[in-house]
Structure 1
Amino acid sequence: MGLNEAPLLFNFEVESSENFTYIPMSVRFNLDRFGLRISLAQWQMLPLEDRKLLARFPVEDDAEIEPNFDHALFEMLRTHANVEPEWFTPDEAPAWRDTASVPQSVERQAKLAGLAGPSAARWAELEPFKRYVLAKLSRKQEINHDFIPAMKEFGAAG
């Protein structure tokens, strides 16, 4: 599978990423998928075109589909920041992969936002990447400013 023609950004991210100043969800997904962690400062050391290129990698839930994201990231960071990403062991069974029940963090975030969370049926219908995004946006105890726009964009508000 090749690169997408354009960087993958949801509508709610266009403004919040501030022209790739912040790490887009597609890049966050691939970082988590490959078990890599970079800081915002490291991300911002990369030239804009490299950041856009990283956002063009596919967001399939199978690390074998596109094995070059990690290689590209390593090369870019070595070249432009003289650093390497930090490694971690990816969660083998993250809550967003479970289509049978909505993660508690998503339900909590919806409640904080004054929204009805997605029904179990709606959660199961969401594409895996969208489930990942909602789970990622809901991982902290306080309200995430992108959660409501993401829920609306995905048609996930109950």
Structure 2
Amino acid sequence: MGLHEAPLLFDFEVVSSEDLTYMPMSVRFNLDRFGLRISLAQWQVLPHADRVLLARFPVDDDTAIEPNFDHALFEMMRTHANVEPDWFTPEAEPAWRNTAAVPDGLARHCSLADLPTPSVQRWAQLDPFKRYVLTKLSRKPEASHDFVPAMREFGLAP
């Protein structure tokens, strides 16, 4: 699987991430799947062309399919920031992979936004990357400004 032709952005991300000042969900996904962490300041030190390249990597859950994201990130960080990303151990079974239950954080955010919680069947039908995005947006106790727009974009809210 090769790189996308353009950075992978959802419609709800265009305002905040179109110029790649902020990390798009595709980059966050790849950071999480490889167990890498960089700060927003480190992201912003990277030249725009490098941020574009990182946002073009596929968002497949299988790290063997596209193993170069981590290598590219390390080289970019060493070259432009003289640091390496921090490592962490990714969750073995993150909530977004579980198609048998809607994550508690997602249900809580639906309640905060006065939206119905998706059924388990509807949750299971979502593309894995979209499940990741909704789980990521609903991980904190306070509401995310992108949560409702993402729910709408994914067909889960009016």
Superposition TM-score tier, normalisation by shorter sequence: over 0.9
1:80 partner amino acid: H
Query: Which whole-Å CA distance do the structure 2 matches of 1:85 and 1:136 have between them?
Result: 20
- C-alpha displacement at 1:70, in angstroms? 0.2
1:132 aligns with 2:132: yes
1:101 partner amino acid: A
Contact 1:35 1:89 (8 Å CA) reproduced: yes
- C-alpha displacement at 1:128, in angstroms? 0.1
SS in structure 2 at match of 1:51: helix
Contact 2:9 2:18 (8 Å CA) reproduced: no
Contact 1:54 1:69 (8 Å CA) reproduced: yes
TM-score (norm 2): 0.98
The equivalent residue for 1:111 is: 111
- C-alpha displacement at 1:156, in angstroms? 1.8
Determine what percentage of the aligned residue pairs are the same residue. Answer: 73
Quote the RMSD (CA, aligned, Å).
1.0
The equivalent residue for 2:30 is: 30
2:12 partner amino acid: F
The equivalent residue for 2:70 is: 70
Query: Which whole-Å CA distance do the structure 1 matches of 2:60 and 2:107 have between them?
Result: 25
Contact 1:37 1:85 (8 Å CA) reproduced: yes
Query: Which whole-Å CA distance do the structure 1 matches of 2:25 and 2:106 have between them?
Result: 16
Give the stretch that moved more between structures: 135-144 or 11-20. Answer: 11-20
Query: Which whole-Å CA distance do the structure 2 matches of 1:34 and 1:46 have between them?
Result: 19
1:86 partner amino acid: D
The equivalent residue for 1:8 is: 8
The equivalent residue for 2:55 is: 55
**Where has structure 1 moved over 4 Å in runs of 4 or more?**
none
1:85 aligns with 2:69: no
Contact 1:99 1:120 (8 Å CA) reproduced: yes
- C-alpha displacement at 1:18, in angstroms? 4.9
The equivalent residue for 1:97 is: 97
In structure 1, list runs of 5 or more residues that go unmatched: none
Query: Which whole-Å CA distance do the structure 1 matches of 2:99 and 2:157 have between them?
Result: 16
TM-score (norm 1): 0.98
Cα deviation per residue 1:14-65 (whole Å; 9 max; x = unaligned)? 1022511110000000000000000000000001111010000000010101
Cα deviation per residue 1:49-88 (whole Å; 9 max; x = unaligned)? 1101000000001010100000000000111111100000
Return closer, same or farther for 1:3/1:18 CA change in 2, 3 Å cut-off: closer
